[in-house]
Structure 1
Amino acid sequence: MTAMTSPTPAHSQQGWFTRSEAWLDQKGKGAWIAAMVLGFVFFWPIGLALLFYMIWSKRMFNKSCRSHSRKPWASHGMSAMKPSGNSAFDAYKEDTLRRLEQEQNDFEGFMQRLRDAKDKAEFDQFMDERSTMPAEDSSDEDRTEKSH
C-alpha cells in the first residue's frame, strides 16, 4: 500500500510563528499592539516578549508594519546628493546646501557662546556668593568668641 502525498500549501510549511507574524503584519500596527496588551493581560512574560520583539524588529517605530517588505523610502534621501543633470539646478542646490551648512555652523557657534556666557554667569554668581559667605561666618565666630 503506497501512501499518496498531496502537495502541501506553502503556508503549512511555515512555522506557526511565521504565520502569526505575517497575519499580524497584514492587520497592521494596531494588531501588534493589541496582541502585546493581551499578552500582558493574560501572562505578562508574553506581553514583554512581544514588546521586545516589536522593538528589536523595528515594528514599533515603522509607519506601517507592512513597510519592511517593500523598498524603504529612506533610501531616497541620498538622491539629494546626486547630480540631477540640470546644471542650473545643481548649481542652485550646491549653493543652497553650502549656505545652509554655513548657517548651521554659525548657529552652533552662537549656541556655544550662549552656553559659555551662561556658564560664566553662573560661575561668577557662585564665586560672589562664596566670597560673601566666609565673611559672614567669620564675623559670627568673632561675636561668639567675644561673648564667651
Structure 2
Amino acid sequence: MTTFTDAAPAVSRPGWLARTEAWFDDKGKGAWIAAMVLGFILFWPIGLALLAYMIWSKRMFSTACRNRHQHRNYFRGMGPMTSTGNTAFDSYKTETLRRLEQEQMEFEAFLERLREAKDKSEFDQFMDARARRAADETRRGDALEPSGS
C-alpha cells in the first residue's frame, strides 16, 4: 500500500518573483530599464531597489550580450558571404554587394570633399574678416596721426 508521501513529488512551480524575473530576462535589458524608470516614477525606493538588483545580478551588463549572441546564432548561415546553393543568385548577390560597397566609398569620398570645401570656405571667411579688421585698424591709426610734421 502506498501512502501519500510515497508518491512522486509534485513539480513545484516557480514563484511569482522568479516568473517575473524570467519574463523580464526574455524581454531583454530594455524591459528591466523600463521597469526601473517606472519604479522611480511610482515610488523612488522601488526604482532604486531595481537598479541595485540589476547591478548586483549583473543584468545591467550581461543581458544585452546574451541577446546579441542569441541573435548571432539565430542568423548564422544567413550572412552576406554564405552560399545559398543557387549560383545565379549568389553571383547577383556578390555583384550587388560589391556595387553597394563601391557606392558607399564614393559617397564617403564625396562627403569628405564637402567637409573640406566647407572648412576652406569658413577659413577663407575668417582670413577675409581678419584682413578687413587689420585694414580698418591701419586706417584708423593713419587718421589719428597728425600729418605734415
TM-score w.r.t. structure 2 length?
0.63
Q: Residue 35 and residue 124 in structure 1: after superposition, are their counterparts in 2 closer, same or farther (change >3 A)? A: closer
The corresponding residue for 1:9 is 12
Matches within 5 A, 1:20-59: 20-24=20-24, 33-34=34-35, 36-44=37-45, 46-48=46-48, 50=50, 53=54, 56=61, 57-58=63-64
Aligned mates of 1:146, 1:75 — CA distance in 2: 87
3-state SS in 2 of match to 1:101 = helix
Closer/same/farther in 2, CA of residues 137 and 48 from structure 1, 3 Å limit: farther
Question: What aligned pairs does 1:57-136 form with structure 2 within 5 A after superposition?
Answer: 57-58=63-64, 68=67, 71-72=70-71, 75-76=74-75, 78-136=78-136
SS of aligned partner of 2:75 = helix
Aligned CA-pair RMSD: 3.9
Q: Write the distance in 1 (CA, Å) between the matches of 2:130 and 2:144.
A: 22
Q: Tell me the CA shift for residue 80 of structure 1.
A: 2.6
How many aligned residue pairs are there?
130
Q: 3-state SS of the aligned residue for 2:84? A: coil
Partner letter of residue 133 of structure 1? R
Structure-1 separation of matches of 2:112 and 2:102: 15
Deviations 1:21-79 (A, max 9, x none): 125457997786355323444235x4256358375434xxxxxxxx95xx437842752
Whether the 8 Å contact between 2:36 and 2:51 is mirrored in structure 1 is no
Return the offset for 1:135: 1.2
Unaligned runs of 5+ in 2: none
Contact 1:36 1:48 in 2 (8 A): no
Q: What secondary structure sits across from 2:98 in the alignment? A: helix
> What runs of 5+ residues in structure 1 fail to find an aligned partner?
59-66
How far 1:91 moved relative to its partner?
Answer: 0.6
1:140 corresponds to which residue?
A: 140
The worse-fitting range, judged by mean Cα deviation, of 25-34 and 135-144 is: 25-34
